[in-house]
Amino acid sequence: MLFIHFTFLAAAVSALPSSTNLAARQTCTSPRLRKSWSKATVEERLAYLEAAVCITKKPSRLNKHKDATLHDDFAYTHALLNYDIHSFAGFLPWHRYFVMVYEQALEECGYKGTAMYWDWVADSDNATLSAVWDPVTGFGGNGQGTGNHGNHAPPVQDGPFKDFRPLYSETNVDQHRLCRNWNRGFGDNKELFGHRYTPQAVSEVLADTTYDGFRDLLEGGPHASVHFGVAVGSGVGKIGDLVPSSSPNDPLFFLHHGMVDRLWWIWQQADESRTNAYDGFHRPPQSNPGGPQGPPVTLDDILPMGDLAPEGIVRDYMDTRSAHLCYEYPKWEYD
């Protein structure tokens, strides 16, 4: 087992981004600005999409299955680590690192820009009207019609990912068409659960002054609502790709987590001491999830990345102006 593991690791390391990309990040003199999708130029959006499609065709780094692509590696890694990267303090730095690994994969596909974000706070009034759903300059729209099997929602019929066939469902091989199942709102709810990520709702999340309190509200509130709003329609038993642990199957995942990361950045900007604010406890062991909580988290905790990329350390992913990251976001701009 160990031998096989190291063989995979060696293959993964040799497929990592070229050293020039990494070298460019060793000092951060002028951080790059990550843009909102709706504010990027058409050329920038098309360049991003071209590279994102390229990732869905590139060979796998993990080499776990003959039909796997580099994009499938992201979904598989996220699903494999699911328990260790959600519902505790590590959620934010882990996903910050994961989006950066994806940004480096976009660069390997020739993209020169930065990761971007879906500003769902700005779109919360009616999120079905967002620029991210555009069939040409976006990720295509809701799933429609038939063509999927099992528990999968209707397939996405337009946009650059209509021919993409995600390989995994959670960590199981289960090739299918990319699918979405928008929650169209019911009762007092807005489209795609937008009432949970209005400027007012998100301000309340940002008002929490403790790191892990803020993380918990963000993860369980706006973050989860967008996942469910895109992928779980009311009264329909079929789920879209943005919901199970293989949620990076939907390339929109990386724009969604860009926004989650931006909100953490905005929270950090409110006070200098927040750059390295990190507290809370590890989850109970996965073998006994109802058991007593684990030890306190520390900045020296490891961010596992499976065989997709080298493991990280939390302290390297706290400051977006660190050499590992070197980017910023637009400030809060809704009141």
Ligand X SMILES: *[C@@H]1O[C@H](CO)[C@@H](O)[C@H](O)[C@H]1NC(C)=O
Contacts to ligand X by CB under 6 A:
126, 128-129, 185, 191
Output the smallest distance, CB 127 to ligand X, in A.
8
CB 317 within 8 A of CB 96: yes
Output the smallest distance, CB 76 to ligand X, in A.
35
Nearer to ligand X, 85 or 192 (CB): 192
**Given the DSSP bridges, would you call strands 172-173 and 327-328 parallel, antiparallel or unpaired?**
unpaired
- Which residue lies nearest ligand X, judged by its C-beta? 126
Nearer to ligand X, 120 or 164 (CB): 120
As a whole number of angstroms, the distance between CA 292 and CA 19 comes to: 43
Output the smallest distance, CB 230 to ligand X, in A.
14
Output the smallest distance, CB 188 to ligand X, in A.
11
Nearer to ligand X, 44 or 191 (CB): 191
Mind giving me the DSSP string for 91-143?
HHHHHHHHHHHHHHHHHHTT--S---B--TTTTTT-GGG-GGG-TTTSS---B
As a whole number of angstroms, the distance between CA 124 and CA 334 comes to: 11
Nearer to ligand X, 3 or 186 (CB): 186
Give the CB-side neighbour count of residue 181, counting CA atoms within 13 A.
22
Give 136-140's long-range contacts (Cβ < 8 A, gap of 24+): 137/42, 137/45, 137/46, 137/49, 138/37, 138/45, 138/49, 139/49, 139/250, 139/251, 139/252, 139/255
Output the smallest distance, CB 159 to ligand X, in A.
17
What Cα–Cα distance (Å) separates residue 284 from each residue in 22, 77, 189? 35, 21, 34
Nearer to ligand X, 192 or 308 (CB): 192
Nearer to ligand X, 81 or 192 (CB): 192
Output the smallest distance, CB 128 to ligand X, in A.
5
Output the smallest distance, CB 254 to ligand X, in A.
25
Nearer to ligand X, 23 or 129 (CB): 129
Closest CA to 61 of 242, 335, 254, 306: 306
